[in-house]
Amino acid sequence: MNGLREALTPLAARMPRVVREHEILRVVGVLKSREDQQTNATARKEILAWLQKRSGGRLPKEAWECKRFEYLSGGRNSVGVRIATPEIDLWSVRADDPDKNIPGRTWTTEVTVGGTSGELPTFTARLIVSTTENDFVDGSQGAAVPGFVKQLATKLGVQRDGYHFSPDPRLIDSEEDSEWLINTLLDPSRHIPVFILSVPNNAEHQTAPLLDANNLSKATIGIGIVAITTPKSSWALTHRFGKQRSVFNGAARTYLPGFSDDSDPYSHKLALADQLATPKGKTDCLRLMRNLAAAESLRHTRLGKDVLAFSAIRNASIQINQKNLEEFGASSDIKLDAATTRIRALEERVESLEKDNEHYLDEYLKEYQRAEDADKRSFSLTFRIQQLNKQIKDSGAVPDTNITFPKQWRDFGDWCDQHLAGRVVLASAARRAVQEPEYNDIELAARCLLWLANDYRESRLGQSDLRVREAPIESGVRNAACGSDEYEINWNGQRHVVDWHIKNGGNTRNPSRCLRIYHLWDPASQQVIVADMPAHRRTGAT
């Protein structure tokens, strides 16, 4: 077998290498202008001006007239098509640009402008790289949105999901700004990451973060939001989300779409000020942020619905042209040429789709493996925490002997994350509720969670004979079934029933004295999930 492999090696070296396509990013937006009838024309002109600079020559007259054109220039090829009917007007171009440093690597930009009659025109763009490399790695500064996006945003205004494209970072320096930023982070409809660059507490200029915010904002316009937080506004984030999910004192953080109060803080990457103290640290962080924005742009847009591929528009254009020729009685030769053109375009479309499918399959397998690895790490860390606690107990010691309880509610969430990890976790509703509640006995609430982490959890694991129903925790405080107050929550993508709560006596409804801690047991992670606290929930029964 080895002899056969050695014999075939020289032959394999002479075989042409397979060219693979890797989609880098997608941009989707709605164009807005005071003169709506001129929006399409202005957008096309800006894109053609950008294309002209990269073409290595002059584009043909048909290009500037926004008609179908082909321009061939030593690998810097450009093709344009247009579909114009009473119902729709779509103009699309595809431009190739060989990499200046890597032989065999070509960058392709596809951009489409237009839409249906009576609606604001849409704008979409794709960046694709074709290469013979088996494992494509971009060793540059990271992915970057094509320059014409900035021009469109500046001259016409572009937005998506209510967020305006801006080449400039947003300074968060007021209570109103902080409220906007918090709402943006928690917005479930947000499809793009938010990059927050905090200013060091001792910075001479209170608006200058450690990273180049302008560079990052221009590179991710349309696929990311860049915000600069002053020390004062960073404190607002910490007050809202706790230290583990905040960013302050020179650090930088990426908040991905889907962020919430109970998000895994490690999924929203944090770079501390120490990591950004060197040029290499800054470069690596900016590259990571740019690539994350690009990856999220692919994850949250659908090809064929949110973004139209150039080949699909070209095929539709050719089909319409062929139909028109038949209706107007064109000669057989003209119709044959049109049919041949359409067949060639369909063949190229099939080839492009095959490359897309291969690319998406590779990306799916990578993402699936990453998710599987993340789950394994999460369960492994939880098990390790539980194992260490058991070893401490087996040695005759008590794990939480020297634990200190929080003195202020604003520290409660971080205290739980730090001391009860792997045993008790706060759901998002509970994490929000403990920020500024009226209930005044913070230490009692903390001791109750400690009871859940130890006595209650051990009973659930079969490690003790404790009867959890009506189990006394302290004088006047007990664990009871929710009964008619039982309700459901969504936890880790699944529905769970909150069927237990810790309550104090006195039958009081005074929120400063009435304690309720609603919780459930998650057998998969072997943790207690605190769904809500410390107030009595308002339900139909109450």
Q: Please say whether the beta carbons of 268 and 245 come within 8 A.
A: yes
pLDDT digits (tens, 9 = 90+) for 235-250: 999 989 988 899 999 9
Enter the CATH code of domain 166-299: 3.40.30.10
pLDDT digits (tens, 9 = 90+) for 257-311: 999 888 888 889 999 999 999 999 999 999 999 999 999 999 999 888 888 888 8
Order of all β-strands in the sheet with 527-532: 424-426, 527-532, 516-522, 500-504, 477-481, 471-474
Q: Would you call 188 helix, strand, or coil by DSSP?
A: coil
Torsion-angle region of 506 (φ positive above 0: left; ψ -120 to 50: alpha; else: beta): left
H-run or E-run covering 292: helix 279-299
Q: Please say whether the beta carbons of 196 and 247 come within 8 A.
A: yes
Q: Would you call 65 helix, strand, or coil by DSSP?
A: coil
**Percent of the chain at pLDDT exceeding 90:** 46
For 107, 136, 248, 356, the CA distances from 20, given in Å and listed in that order, are 12, 9, 42, 9
* Backbone phi, psi, residue 77, to 5°: -90, 145
Q: Please say whether the beta carbons of 26 and 126 come within 8 A.
A: yes
Distance between CA 13 and CA 346 in Å, rounded?
Answer: 31
Mention every residue, 6+ apart, whose C-beta is less than 8 A from residue 80: 62, 63, 66, 67, 68, 69, 70, 91, 92, 93, 94
Q: In terms of DSSP bridges, do strands 225-229 and 194-198 run parallel, antiparallel, or are they unpaired?
A: parallel
pLDDT digits (tens, 9 = 90+) for 49-88: 999 988 878 899 999 998 889 998 877 889 999 888 888 8
pLDDT digits (tens, 9 = 90+) for 413-450: 999 988 898 889 999 899 989 988 999 999 999 999 99
Per DSSP, 2 falls in state H
Tokens (6 digits) for 263? 């998000």
Residue 118: pLDDT over 90: no
Residue 8: pLDDT over 80: no
Distance between CA 21 and CA 19 in Å, rounded?
Answer: 7
Segment 190-195 mean pLDDT: 95
Give the 3-state secondary structure of 247-264.
CCCCCEEEECCCCCCCCC
Q: Please state whether the predicted TM-score (pTM) of the whole model is above 0.75.
A: no
Mention every residue, 6+ apart, whose C-beta is less than 8 A from residue 70: 77, 78, 79, 80
DSSP string, 396-443: T--TTTT----SSGGGHHHHHHHHSTTTEEE-HHHHHHTSS-S---HH
Q: How many residues does the chain have?
A: 542
pLDDT digits (tens, 9 = 90+) for 306-335: 888 888 888 777 666 556 555 555 555 555
Distance between CA 64 and CA 67 in Å, rounded?
Answer: 8
Using the CB atoms, write b or e for 98-126: b if 16+ within 10 Å.
beeebeebbbbbbbbbbbeeeeebbbbbb
In the numeric block, the tokens 């494209």 are attached to 165
pLDDT of residue 36: 58
H-run or E-run covering 198: strand 194-198
Q: Please say whether the beta carbons of 101 and 86 come within 8 A.
A: no
Segment 354-360 mean pLDDT: 60
pLDDT digits (tens, 9 = 90+) for 439-479: 999 999 999 999 999 999 989 888 888 888 889 999 989 99
pLDDT of residue 16: 53
The closest alpha carbon to 116, from 152, 79, 80, 89, belongs to 89
Rg of the chain, C-alpha, whole Å: 30
Give the up-direction half-sphere exposure of residue 500: CA atoms within 13 A in the CB hemisphere.
19
pLDDT digits (tens, 9 = 90+) for 381-420: 666 666 676 676 677 666 777 889 999 998 999 999 888 9
pLDDT class for 9, splitting at 50, 70, 90? low
DSSP string, 207-239: T--SS-HHHHHHHTBTTBEEEEE-HHHHHHHHH
For residue 101, how far is the Cα from the chain centroid?
30
Q: In terms of DSSP bridges, do strands 69-71 and 78-84 run parallel, antiparallel, or are they unpaired?
A: antiparallel
Domain locations along the chain:
19-161, 166-299, 409-532
Order of all β-strands in the sheet with 158-160: 69-71, 78-84, 88-98, 106-116, 122-131, 20-31, 158-160, 163-164
Segment 144-164 mean pLDDT: 91
Distance between CA 261 and CA 417 in Å, rounded?
Answer: 12
DSSP string, 23-44: EEEEEEEEE--SSGGGHHHHHH
Q: DSSP H helical segments within 65-187, as ranges? A: 148-155, 175-186
Distance between CA 410 and CA 233 in Å, rounded?
Answer: 16
Mention every residue, 6+ apart, whose C-beta is less than 8 A from residue 365: none
